[in-house]
Amino acid sequence: MSRIDTLIAQMTLAEKLGQLTMTASGYAVTGPVIAGDSTQSIIDGSLGNLLNMVGPGPSHEMQRLAVEQSRLGIPLLIGLDIIHGHRTLFPIPLAEAGLFDDALWERTAREAAREGAADGLAMTFAPMLDVSRDPRWGRTAEGPGEDPWLNTRIARAKVRGFQGGDLSSAESLAACAKHFVAYSPVNAGRDYAEVDISERTLREVHLPGFAASIEAGVATLMPSFTDLNGVPMTAHVPLLRDWLRGEMGFDGVIVSDYHAIAELMNHGVAANLVDAAVLALKAGVDVDMMSDAYRKGLPVALEQGRVTMAEIDACVRRVLRLKERLGLFDDPYRRGATPEPASVVAERHALAREIAGKSIVLLKNEHDALPLPPTAKKLCVIGPLADAHTEMKGPWWGAGEHEPAVSVLAGLRAALPRAEIRHADGVAIDGDDASGIEAAVALCDGADAVVLCLGERATMSGEAASRATPALPGRQQALADAATTRARALGIPVVAVLFSGRPLVVPRLAEQADALLAAWFLGCEAGHAVADVLTGRISPSGRTPMSWPRAVGQVPIFFGQRPSGRPMNPADYFTSKYHDVENTPLYPFGHGLGYGRFAYDELQVEPQRLGESDTLEVRVALRNVGARAAEETVFLFVRDKVAQVTRPLLELKGYAKLSLQPGEAGTVTLELPATELRYLGPDLQPLYEAGEVEILVGASAELGGLLRQTIELIWDVGDARGVAERAGFEPAEGC
């Protein structure tokens, strides 16, 4: 018998349910706490998994209780949310998504895993794979932005990074793909509200990221809190059992979200904790996080014959197998056994600065206001986010809560030690007090440039942080009005640096400022990274992974919309448009300027006709016609103009980066296998179809700015459908 079978054969019901229970250990509690658990539960085997326990000391101490004092000596599984770095905080995931760089996505996850594992952890509740098209939803900050294809790339890179090549390594963590699935389209952007979307949107937009994470070998997965089309995800048999376990063959651990099993009662599908436990178990949830439903409810359900021991054993087996794969049985103390040398930590901070700099998106740069010229010796740095070092960390600071972070003011002072830098907040992040505006704006007199640091508090995004009006809070716009008016009178430029966990609705600020930067939340090195960009030490290269709305009423706004039967035509009244705002976003997906300027030359696409087994090669020549070195991100989109179901106006299918010196030319080559051009047909099954497809290449999803060519998809030689089509009759079923 295997070790796991032997253990299961020896376990009491209480010990089994202990393995299916995960309890917060008082480090960073994020929701309701079940009272009554203590270290005694670890010793008596009724608690097998912890969350939020950090540090090699405490985690090894708990591990010793499990391994050395419990009857069967089964090690604990200890997990924590590592959303954008553990102690060394990287930019929030939304900001990182804008890197469009698989290697860097993987690297930050790898570094976070090494740092977390050195703290005694074996699991993290990441990556978050919720495609978000609604900036009202605060958890937008934690995810990949609006595009499902981009999400699949991030999913793979993050799973590789967290788990490494060997899950049992002292530097690897079990990743957790969350929140399964379609959590983001919560009604009206309000966190935890219900979700009602079509099966097609579910399959086209929300499932692919999870499928990619499973293909990459993700060890665990977390269902979302939400109700999807009438069935709460924690009890969703068709998706958890049929799709995930069945269709996708996922045999890892499914861990519930925090208190989510008990919340089945609030959803109104369970009358009591016993019902809730039965529903979750039947759906395939292995581990109960913070509901205490399994320990309390399953013994009753078992007695009533509503669940079987075999069903419980199947969950226990998956949990024990995960512990085995993590190497916990062989050496439960390997993670956190040796402290990381200071040089590793320093290198990680250097990486955090590099990634933060690369995540900044230069949304606007009129008259080359940036970079600040070396002659700019007097700066006026105002706004409530200028000297706000803790806010720089953003939501989900994890174990980085007490670690230092660099504010913009500190970063600029370090970068420009000889400059005169004046500073005032002017206003608070929120609230009605405008009394400080006048004095703050008076600091502009005699300055060479104004740096306005505005935006949200870190806690305004993340979980439970929806905003009905995702705009500048408090009196910040009034500060921007006064500062830009004064700066204009003085003839000096205004650079606005915007901190947020989402695209903000800031058309007025975008109009007023000469330069506008989306700095999202950049983590511990934020201030240095902002200074690197402002001073021109680096050229900004981040691209926005979400469209920026002009007005809240445009939400949800995203580039992958389907065509209308009455496309927008300003000259025709009865077409799809608003009376009060343009249809287009203020800044489209993929937008982001640098300090160079790229001219796109001819687009070459080969072959012009390709079969299902062929690969398209797309080449575009670029030249940096600007005065500074810079990096360009080139996007590849497709459009299937005529299909059996309506296809999005644009679908992202590739991206590539190219760095060029001023005057230098280069070529970007992208490969697109024809299989990527399959779509879900009328029956929601993947369909490859002969016909024309438009290939579009450019710097963002702005339709007008894309180079395009049309190719023809043909049936492969010998393909029965092709033969049938050429012969002029319908292909037989199953072809």
Please report, as residue ranges, which positions from 536 to 595 form the binding site for ligand BGC (by CB under 6 A).
none
Whether the Cβ atoms of residue 297 and residue 278 lie closer than 8 Å to each other:
yes
- We find the least distance from the C-beta atom of residue 192 to ligand BGC, in angstroms, to be 9
Instruction: Mark 616-635 with x for binding to ligand BGC (rule: CB under 6 A) and - for no binding.
Output: --------------------
Q: Which of 81, 96, 292, 631 binds ligand BGC (CB under 6 A)?
A: 81
Q: Which of 86, 178, 335, 353 binds ligand BGC (CB under 6 A)?
A: 178
Number of CB atoms found within 10 A of residue 701's CB: 26
Specify the 3-state DSSP secondary structure of 689. coil
Q: Chain centroid to CA 408: how far?
A: 24
- We find the least distance from the C-beta atom of residue 124 to ligand BGC, in angstroms, to be 9
Which segments within 416-540 are labelled E, that is strand?
420-424, 449-455, 494-499, 515-518
Q: How far is residue 548's CA from residue 553's CA, in Å, rounded to a whole number?
A: 12
Whether the Cβ atoms of residue 90 and residue 397 lie closer than 8 Å to each other:
no
What single-letter DSSP state applies at residue 705? G
* Residue number, 51 or 370, with CB nearest to ligand BGC: 51
- We find the least distance from the C-beta atom of residue 292 to ligand BGC, in angstroms, to be 15
* Residue number, 396 or 600, with CB nearest to ligand BGC: 396
* Residue number, 126 or 509, with CB nearest to ligand BGC: 126
Q: How far is residue 643's CA from residue 165's CA, in Å, rounded to a whole number?
A: 41
Residue 243 half-sphere exposure toward CB, CA atoms < 13 A: 18
Specify the 3-state DSSP secondary structure of 318. helix
Q: Which of 27, 31, 241, 490 binds ligand BGC (CB under 6 A)?
A: 31
Strand 686-687 to strand 679-680: parallel, antiparallel, or no bridges (unpaired)?
A: antiparallel
3-state secondary structure 494-507: EEEEEECCCCCCCH
Let me know if 717 is exposed, middle or buried by CB neighbors in 10 A (0-12, 13-18, 19+): exposed
Q: Quick one: how many helices (H) and strands (E) in the chain? A: 20, 26
Which segments within 413-489 are labelled E, that is strand?
420-424, 449-455
Does 288 bind ligand BGC (CB under 6 A)? Our answer is no
Closest CA to 18 of 428, 248, 218, 316: 316
* Residue number, 142 or 532, with CB nearest to ligand BGC: 142
- We find the least distance from the C-beta atom of residue 257 to ligand BGC, in angstroms, to be 5
Q: How far is residue 628's CA from residue 693's CA, in Å, rounded to a whole number?
A: 36
Output the DSSP codes for 554-591.
G-S--TTPPPPSS---TT-TTSS--SSS-SS-SB-TT-
Q: Which residue's C-beta sits nearest to ligand BGC?
A: 125
Total number of residues that touch ligand BGC (CB under 6 A)? 9
* Residue number, 175 or 510, with CB nearest to ligand BGC: 175
Output the six-digit token pair for 359.
Answer: 């995540």
* Residue number, 289 or 524, with CB nearest to ligand BGC: 289
Specify the 3-state DSSP secondary structure of 487. helix
Let me know if 725 is exposed, middle or buried by CB neighbors in 10 A (0-12, 13-18, 19+): middle
Residue 616 half-sphere exposure toward CB, CA atoms < 13 A: 31
Q: Which of 90, 100, 105, 125 binds ligand BGC (CB under 6 A)?
A: 125
Query: Alpha-carbon dihedral of residues 243, 249, 252, 256, nearest 10 degrees?
Result: 10
What is the amino acid identity at position 349? H
For residue 343, give every residue at least 6 positions away whose Cβ sits within 8 Å of its Cβ, in sequence order, or none. Answer: none
- We find the least distance from the C-beta atom of residue 291 to ligand BGC, in angstroms, to be 12
- We find the least distance from the C-beta atom of residue 22 to ligand BGC, in angstroms, to be 9
Instruction: Mark 201-240 with x for binding to ligand BGC (rule: CB under 6 A) and - for no binding.
Output: ----------------------------------------
* Residue number, 30 or 266, with CB nearest to ligand BGC: 30
Instruction: Mark 461-500 with x for binding to ligand BGC (rule: CB under 6 A) and - for no binding.
Output: --x-------------------------------------
Does 137 bind ligand BGC (CB under 6 A)? Our answer is no
Number of CB atoms found within 10 A of residue 72's CB: 16
* Residue number, 23 or 512, with CB nearest to ligand BGC: 23
Q: How far is residue 605's CA from residue 709's CA, in Å, rounded to a whole number?
A: 7
What is the amino acid identity at position 250? F
Please report, as residue ranges, which positions from 51 to 80 form the binding site for ligand BGC (by CB under 6 A).
51
Instruction: Mark 247-266 with x for binding to ligand BGC (rule: CB under 6 A) and - for no binding.
Output: ----------xx--------
- We find the least distance from the C-beta atom of residue 464 to ligand BGC, in angstroms, to be 8
- We find the least distance from the C-beta atom of residue 531 to ligand BGC, in angstroms, to be 32
What single-letter DSSP state applies at residue 307? S
The residue length of the chain stands at: 735
* Residue number, 466 or 539, with CB nearest to ligand BGC: 466
Identified catalytic residue from 257, 286, 292, 640: 257
- We find the least distance from the C-beta atom of residue 396 to ligand BGC, in angstroms, to be 8
* Residue number, 178 or 423, with CB nearest to ligand BGC: 178
Q: Chain centroid to CA 82: how far?
A: 12
Does 30 bind ligand BGC (CB under 6 A)? Our answer is yes
Residue 387 known to be catalytic: no
* Residue number, 93 or 540, with CB nearest to ligand BGC: 93
- We find the least distance from the C-beta atom of residue 30 to ligand BGC, in angstroms, to be 4
What is the separation, in whole angstroms, between the first and last Cα of the chain? 46
- We find the least distance from the C-beta atom of residue 258 to ligand BGC, in angstroms, to be 4
Kindly list the catalytic residues. 257
**Where along the sequence are the contacts to ligand BGC (CB under 6 A)?**
30-31, 51, 81, 125, 178, 257-258, 463
